[in-house]
Amino acid sequence: MILAEAYIHDLSPFAIRFGDGFGIRWYGLAYLTGFIAAWMILKWMARTGRSLLKPEQVGDFMTWMVVGVLVGGRLGYVLFYSIDLLWTFSSSFPFWGVLEIHKGGMASHGGILGVWLACILYGRARGITSWHLFDGVAFCAPIGLGLGRVANFVNGELWGRPLPATMQADPPGWSVKYPDEMLEVDFPNGGTVDGLVTMISNPANLPPLQALRDAIYAGRADVAEAVSPYLVAYYPSQLFQALTDGLLLFTLLAIVWLRPRKPGVICGWFLIGYGAMRIASEQFRAQYTTEWGVSSIWPAAGLSAVMIALGLLVLWWCVRREGPKVGGLLTPGSTEAAGSVDRT
- Please write the tens of the pLDDT for every residue from 169-209: 999 999 999 999 999 888 989 989 999 999 998 888 899 99
Whether pLDDT at 233 is above 70: yes
- Tell me the pLDDT band of 299, cut-offs 50, 70 and 90: low
Mean pLDDT of the chain: 87
Domains of the chain by residue range: 25-159+236-338, 179-230
- Tell me the pLDDT band of 161, cut-offs 50, 70 and 90: very high
- Tell me the pLDDT band of 309, cut-offs 50, 70 and 90: very high
Angle among Cα 205, 208, 209 to the nearest 5 degrees reads: 135
Q: For residue 100, how many other CB atoms are within 10 A of its CB?
A: 17
Query: pLDDT above 90 covers what percent of the chain?
Result: 62
- Tell me the pLDDT band of 105, cut-offs 50, 70 and 90: confident
Whether pLDDT at 118 is above 50: yes
Reported pTM: 0.84
Range among 87-91, 320-324, 331-335 rated most confident: 320-324
Whether pLDDT at 107 is above 90: no
Residue 23 forms beta bridges with which residues?
17
Lowest mean pLDDT among 23-27, 99-103, 148-152: 99-103
Whether pLDDT at 291 is above 50: no
Q: How far apart are CA 233 and CA 229, in angstroms?
A: 10
Q: How far apart are CA 179 and CA 323, in angstroms?
A: 57
Range among 35-39, 109-113, 286-290 rated most confident: 35-39
* Cβ-proximal residues to 159 (8 Å cutoff; 6+ apart), any chain: 178, 234, 237, 285, 286
Q: Please, where are the H alpha helices in the chain?
A: 26-47, 58-80, 108-126, 130-155, 165-168, 190-194, 208-217, 221-227, 237-241, 249-256, 265-281, 297-320, 335-338
Angle among Cα 252, 258, 260 to the nearest 5 degrees reads: 120
pLDDT in tens, 11-35: 999 988 887 767 888 988 998 999 9
Helices 249-256 and 265-281 sit at what angle, rounded to 10 degrees? 160
Distances (CA, A) of 299 to 142, 287, 289, 304, 342: 20, 11, 11, 8, 35
Whether pLDDT at 237 is above 90: yes
Between the CA atoms of 288, 293, 294 and 300, what dihedral angle is there, to the nearest 10 degrees?
-80
Q: Is residue 222 a contact partner of residue 195, using CB atoms and an 8 Å limit? A: no
pLDDT of residue 131: 94
pLDDT of residue 340: 44
pLDDT of residue 295: 46
Higher-pLDDT residue of 240, 100? 240
